[in-house]
Amino acid sequence: MKRNILILLVLIILQSCFYPVRKDYGIYSKSLVFSKDKKWLINNINTDVNSQHRELMNKEVLQLFNDMSEGRASDMKTAKSENIIQNHISSDPQTEDLEALKNSTDYNYLVNVYTFKVRNALDNTIGMQSQYKTNETFAMMDVYDIKSLKKIYSFKAYSEVAVDKDQKVTIFTPTTEMMTMKNFRSLIKSVKKNAIKTDSPL
């Protein structure tokens, strides 16, 4: 009897924690091509997560692109400290922003990562709900070819958790912070899984 109750409890917890991450590459390829002669500039992540998670995101993205490019990636902090970059770069750069990078640096690609909590109605609440509520978040990675001034990669990972009227929100219901980090991890996993490495100059 106790075992059945325990199994039921575990199933309820797992059901509460599980939710799909949807993926959208738009019109772009799933793969980024890494060669030894190309340099990557990682922009500051635009995110509404807490400072600890923000720092973790910045570290993981820089580590990922350094691993993939064999050490040819830099973040904005490093670029500014070396006086390579002077100004802020938007997470939605215009042609003139890319032209400025093209003319003043030797970077080949700009990487932008940003996240957003679209709805957070389930955060900071618990128990039976009197109306339908949702948490919804997304994370996105865009890559720009600085030399051609064009976007070459875009991947959006997004998720939603909903609770109907007269359903309970529990301590196991995912928060938007948790969901955002899961979406972010999908970005990292996708780049790793679909990366193409080549020794030939591009």
Domain assignment present for residue 8? The answer is no
Torsion of CA 186, 187, 189, 193, to 10 degrees: 130
Q: Is the pLDDT of residue 9 over 60?
A: no
Domain assignment present for residue 2? The answer is no
Domain assignment present for residue 193? The answer is yes
Domain assignment present for residue 190? The answer is yes
CATH number for position 80: 3.40.50
Residue reference for tokens 């996993």:
189
Q: How many CB atoms lie within 10 A of CB 166?
A: 10
Tokens of 154: 């875009």
Measured distance CA(14)–CA(16) in Å, rounded: 5
Q: What is the pLDDT of residues 61-91, one digit of tens each?
A: 999 999 999 999 999 988 888 777 777 888 8
Q: What is the pLDDT of residues 34-47, one digit of tens each?
A: 998 899 999 999 99
Measured distance CA(193)–CA(156) in Å, rounded: 15
Domain count of the chain?
1
Domain assignment present for residue 38? The answer is yes
Q: Is the pLDDT of residue 143 over 90?
A: yes
Task: Please give the average per-residue pLDDT across 163-178, as a whole number.
Answer: 87
Q: The domain containing residue 154 runs over which residues?
A: 20-198
Arithmetic mean of pLDDT over the chain? 87
Measured distance CA(62)–CA(68) in Å, rounded: 10
Q: Is the pLDDT of residue 20 over 60?
A: yes
Domain assignment present for residue 10? The answer is no
Predicted confidence band of residue 154 (pLDDT cuts 50, 70, 90): very high
Predicted confidence band of residue 3 (pLDDT cuts 50, 70, 90): low
Domain assignment present for residue 6? The answer is no
Q: CB under 8 Å to 63, separation ≥6 — which residues?
A: none
